[in-house]
Amino acid sequence: MLRKIAGLLLKKIHKSSNTGMKTSEKDMKKFLIVGLGNIGPEYKYTRHNIGFLIADRLAEKLNASFKTERYGEVAKANYRGKKLIILKPSTYMNLSGKAVRYWLEKEKIDPKNLLILTDDVNLDFGSLRLRPKGSDGGHNGLKNIQELLQTNQYPRLRFGIGKDYPKGKQVDYVLGKWTEPQMKELPGLIDKATDAIISFVQEGLQRTMNQFNTRSKPTSKTANN
């Protein structure tokens, strides 16, 4: 009798352990991809909105459509066994963390499976830099995300916009529109960024960093014509 009870207990423990493992594996297959930007047509082709443009291209590539949901436009897609939730916050840049925190909690996604797509004035135009963590670097969107998540331990993909602006004119520059030569190069560069995102989801952070992190400088000048 005691042996029978012990056997039943072992089966129950084994079943519970397997259930926990499956939940963990399921969570590992879910990713939140967040493009940072400001809502409104006047911001669409500004340098600060490159995160939105990359998110749009990623959704298009995965045949996903955006729908208006809480704190943003959201597209959901499945890719080779992985689920991607693509988010464009509607909170404006300075309150991006509100949307990020809500969707992380709603979808029960680990911050290591979060990827923020953002602009960076400290990188040459078109350069990509993927990192597992880091400071906000003066970026208001990243600053708010860090404040609300209470950590800077989350991956981010930075897209270089260059820094060819006069002293004191950074705000005008990042909220300014791309030059015509840059607009011609953007589609190919955005495609490369979406390839990096898919690699991050499929191959992991380190392999993607090794493959896509670059300081190569496209031919277009960063200054406005």
Indicate which CATH number applies to the domain containing 140. Answer: 3.40.50.1470
This prediction has a pTM of 0.83
Residue 165 forms part of a structural domain: yes
- How much is the pLDDT for 136? 85
**Count of domains observed in the chain:** 1
Q: What angle do CA 191, 154, 202 make, to 5 degrees?
A: 45
Confidence band, pLDDT 50/70/90 cuts, at residue 168:
confident
Tens of pLDDT, residue by residue over 63-79, are: 999 999 999 999 999 99
Q: What is the mean pLDDT of the segment spanning 97-113?
A: 96
CB 158 within 8 A of CB 119: yes
Query: Looking at residue 7, what is its pLDDT?
Result: 52
48, 57, 88, 129: the catalytic one is 48
State residue 215's pLDDT score. 61
> 3 lies in a domain?
no
Q: What domain range includes position 121?
A: 24-212
Residue 132 lies in a domain: yes
Stronger pLDDT, 130 or 164, i.e. the higher one? 130
The rounded distance, in Å, linking the Cα atoms of 147 and 136 is: 10
CA dihedral sign, ordered 59, 220, 177, 160: positive
8 inside domain: no
CB 141 within 8 A of CB 36: yes
Domain contains 16: no
Q: 150-163 pLDDT, tens per residue?
A: 999 999 999 999 98
10 located within any domain: no
- Which pLDDT band, with edges at 50, 70 and 90, does 13 fall under? very low
* Percent of the residues in the chain that have a pLDDT greater than 70, as a whole number: 83
Q: Is the pLDDT confidence value at 101 over 80?
A: yes
Is residue 61 in a domain? yes
Q: Is residue 9 part of a domain?
A: no
Q: What is the mean pLDDT of residues 25-51?
A: 89
Cα 220 to Cα 8, 57, 122, 171, 182: the distances in Å are 70, 22, 16, 21, 6
14 is catalytic: no
Q: Which residues touch 126 (CB under 8 Å, ≥6 apart)?
A: 159, 160, 185, 189, 216, 217, 218, 220
Q: What is the arithmetic mean of pLDDT over 174-199?
A: 96
CB atoms within 10 A of CB 67: 10
